[in-house]
Amino acid sequence: MAATSGKLNWVVIPPVPSSSFLSLSANCNGSSELVKETSDLEGTASVIHVKKSISQKPPRFASEPTQEVDSLKSPKPENGHSCDGCSKKSGVVSYQKHALANNTGVVSESSLGDSQEKCGGHPIDDASVVQSSTPWPLKLADFVLGDLDDSCCEKEGVRQGKPSASNFLNNGSQCGEAKDSFVTAEASDETESAAKSSGSIKVSSPCRYYVGSGKSSICRGSTSSDVSDESSSSSFSSVANKPHKGSDSRWDAIKAIRLRDGFLGLNHFRLLKRLGCGDIGSVYLSKLSGTRDYFAMKVMDKEALASRKKLQRAQTEREILQSLDHPFLPTLYTHFETERFSCLVMEFCPGGDLHVLRQKQPGKYFPEYAARFYVAEVLLALEYLHMLGIVYRDLKPENVLVRDDGHIMLSDFDLSLRCAVCPTLVRSANTDKDSSKKNLGYCVQPSCTEPTCAIQPSCIQPTCFAPRFFSSGSKKEEKKNRLKNEVYHQVKLLPELIAEPTSVRSMSFVGTHEYLAPEIIKGEGHGSAVDWWTFGIFLYELLFGKTPFKGSGNRATLFNVVGQPLRFPESPTVSFAARDLIRGLLVKEPQHRLAYRRGATEVKQHSFFQSLNWALIRCNSPPEIPKPFQLNIPVAASASEKVAGVVVKPSGNYLDIDFF
Ligand SMILES: Nc1ncnc2c1ncn2[C@@H]1O[C@H](COP(=O)(O)OP(=O)(O)OP(=O)(O)O)[C@@H](O)[C@H]1O
């Protein structure tokens, strides 16, 4: 992991153990079979043809243990679809075939709306091709989801033209209604409802395939599902791995219960309210019984996951969550499995998501300072993910949650793509301030196969570390600029860290229509540059209140993404710097896109962020602090309590819980 190079003696220490990458070696119970391996045109990538077959079992609908509340039971899907009460905001597309299979921008009829009729309901038997620079074929995983179900309800605030979710954990009749009601795991007389209505609808398609795999923790859990204990298996993300989070009492609370009972399971939690649902599970606000600690618990029905070929997605999400340790990414406190459910216990974000928050802004767009704040935090999260070799692929306001302190948390990793990456320190020796524009000076070694590698002598290339300084003309400003230039000369020789997984290639068609990068739509194969495209769309949407290529329908949107030039509306007024950044990001050819080679480093140096102190970003005042989270819970209690930001008040048969 450590290496030296010439005069420099830098060590790059990625924040996760390399084992999280290296563990990908075999698929869950051998259901994926490597049938062919060839090399790509350049000879640098592996092309893997994998044949996958998963035994398909119909979802079970039998009664569950009393601790597992009714709300968690799966409705029986009809014709393979389950239009349910998903309150999801986001439409995620994933097609087995590429919608625009040619470069002309002409939408292929047959590829749009691929659904279960075509391939769902049958064991997956498709060959998937994933290209990667990694020499170990099965270290790369490409996970995609399911089928279009446009029949699901749309509601206010839902992105138009979204494929709809078929969420098996929800009651099919709810269809987006968001009425609070109450669920407890301790009492069996609960009721429940979809909690959050702000979401778009999410698509799912069972006709997905994937390559790669790994030790399947979910499968490990499944194999132990004959254990009658409710918590048949659990994994504990120890705070020992995250010592800086030691002051977080939730670690201790979980640990104490595990010490006391020997395990942690669903019956240790009260599920208070459904916060939302996605394609592979529902998320509940949960309270750890006997404590005052709240969590967001994602509950996934394992049978339904298996029957809909989503086990791998769930596993991907869990493995990624386990590897994360970043202020703008979720903390996974623990994971456990019951006989039926797989549960992820995460940090709870009471502030909703940026999609909802944007709708509440005057004009439904954010002022520039607020947009800068949010995208800057997202940028750091993406930078970290890329450093871990994770291409996020699903950036959109719906997936950016707001913490109680107003800072953000990027969520939802089940569409992410994992690959090997070579974080590399590159020494700056180029005094050309505009070199970043020319995309020169990078050196990210595609041949590097280790996620943890240090500087390599051959990587010491000239790069641009130059912040951009603009002359304003006045003497005062000139003096200021002189000072800045001195700083620049001091820092120009500093190395910069590049951790962009530039050479990964996936052929999956995955994402959200309005956010899909052209190369995904055209089926050309895509890599980490898709995150920079979506970052541009994201910034555009925050600033203008809409996405740039949205058409009258999904096909028109895809056509526009590929063929229409970028345009900015006349209002609201947005700075030149912001528009310049968006222009750089929304370049249709990925290789000419800003950040294509040097990743977040390039974006951070853009003048849009000139006023930002990246090192102190967590000290910045958020544009908005979320209002207290309101929750009514029917319990018989008479005393008030106020603990750690949570106020519990008796209210008749209810308690009002306010989060501050
Ligand atoms: N940590 C959290 N705190 C608060 N709310 C959350 C949290 N995680 C998720 N949610 C809410 O639950 C909803 C569903 O989340 P989930 O990640 O399952 O859905 P998703 O984003 O569609 O993912 P998937 O791709 O798995 O379908 C989100 O839209 C969000 O509103």
Record the tokens describing residue 99, joined without a space. Answer: 């919608």
* Residue of 155, 164, 283, 344 to test ligand 1 pocket, by largest number of atoms within 8 Å of CB: 283
Question: Which residue has the least CA distance to atom 28 on ligand 1?
Answer: 276
Q: Which residue has the tokens 């200021």?
A: 480
Q: Among candidates 301, 80, 305, 337, which has minimal Cα distance to 169? A: 301
126 touches ligand 1 (CB under 6 Å)? no
Q: Which atom of ligand 1 is nearest to the CA of 348?
A: 3
**Residues 98 and 111 sit within 8 Å (Cβ to Cβ):** yes
End-to-end CA distance of the chain: 43
**Residues 647 and 632 sit within 8 Å (Cβ to Cβ):** no
Quick check: is 394 catalytic? Answer: yes
14 touches ligand 1 (CB under 6 Å)? no
Q: Among candidates 660, 636, 227, which has minimal Cα distance to 650? A: 636
| 63 contacts: CB under 8 Å, gap ≥ 6 | none
**Residues 464 and 432 sit within 8 Å (Cβ to Cβ):** yes
Q: Which atom of ligand 1 is nearest to the CA of 283?
A: 12
Q: Is the dihedral of CA 113, 119, 124, 125 positive or negative?
A: negative
**What is the distance in A from the centroid of ligand 1 to the CA of 286?**
14
- Tell me how many degrees the CA angle 38-43-45 measures, rounded to the nearest 5: 65
User: What is the mean pLDDT, run by run of 10 residues, along the chain of 660 residues?
Assistant: 33 30 27 28 27 28 28 36 36 41 31 28 25 25 25 37 31 31 32 31 27 26 27 49 71 93 94 90 94 94 95 94 96 95 96 96 98 98 95 96 96 90 68 41 34 33 34 58 57 68 73 92 91 98 98 96 97 98 98 94 96 92 86 50 40 32
129 touches ligand 1 (CB under 6 Å)? no
The predicted structure's pLDDT at residue 19: 29
Q: Among candidates 35, 52, 34, 137, which has minimal Cα distance to 96? A: 52
* Residue of 412, 510, 659 to test ligand 1 pocket, by largest number of atoms within 8 Å of CB: 412
Single pTM value for the model: 0.63
87 touches ligand 1 (CB under 6 Å)? no
531 touches ligand 1 (CB under 6 Å)? no
94 touches ligand 1 (CB under 6 Å)? no
521 touches ligand 1 (CB under 6 Å)? no
The predicted structure's pLDDT at residue 295: 96
Each residue's pLDDT tens digit, 222-275: 222 222 233 344 444 555 566 666 678 899 999 999 999 999 999 999 999 999
275 touches ligand 1 (CB under 6 Å)? yes
d(CA 249, CA 240): 13
Q: Which atom of ligand 1 is nearest to the CA of 88?
A: 29
Strands (E), 449-569: 495-498, 505-506, 509-511
Long-range pairs of 613-620 with CB within 8 A, sequence gap ≥ 24: 614/376, 614/380, 617/376, 617/377, 617/380, 618/327, 618/407, 620/373
Question: Which residue has the least CA distance to atom 11 on ligand 1?
Answer: 276
Each residue's pLDDT tens digit, 137-190: 222 222 222 222 322 223 334 454 333 323 322 333 332 333 333 333 332 223
Which candidate in 394, 412, 414, 531 is catalytic?
Answer: 394
The predicted structure's pLDDT at residue 448: 32
Q: Which residue has the tokens 């290339």?
A: 461
